[in-house]
Amino acid sequence: MSLPVPGAELNVSVRPHAGPKALIYFGGNAEDVSASLASFYRAFPDRALYLLDYRGHGKSSRAPAPNA
């Protein structure tokens, strides 16, 4: 899934799950969150998962600003 933001598209790795519980995770510096989806699924099987790549990391577009 892609999340449009001003000047970029952020990649969001998603694992849907019925119900009210969800986990939103912002990857660390230079992390590609799509590689972590299976681990998060095992750790949080009862939640929908939304893992986001920062600008310029993973599958997100545009490099982050130097002061970010």
pLDDT digits over 10-66, tens only? 999 999 999 999 999 998 887 889 899 999 999 999 999 999 998 887 788 876 666
Residue 64, pLDDT score: 61
Residue 17, pLDDT score: 97
Q: Coil, strand or helix: which one is 58?
A: coil
Cα gap 38→42, rounded to integer Å:
6
Q: Coil, strand or helix: which one is 4?
A: strand
Residue 28, pLDDT score: 80
Cα gap 29→13, rounded to integer Å:
16
Predicted confidence (pLDDT) at residue 9 exceeds the cutoff of 60: yes
Query: Bridge partners of 25?
Result: 51
Cα gap 17→48, rounded to integer Å:
4
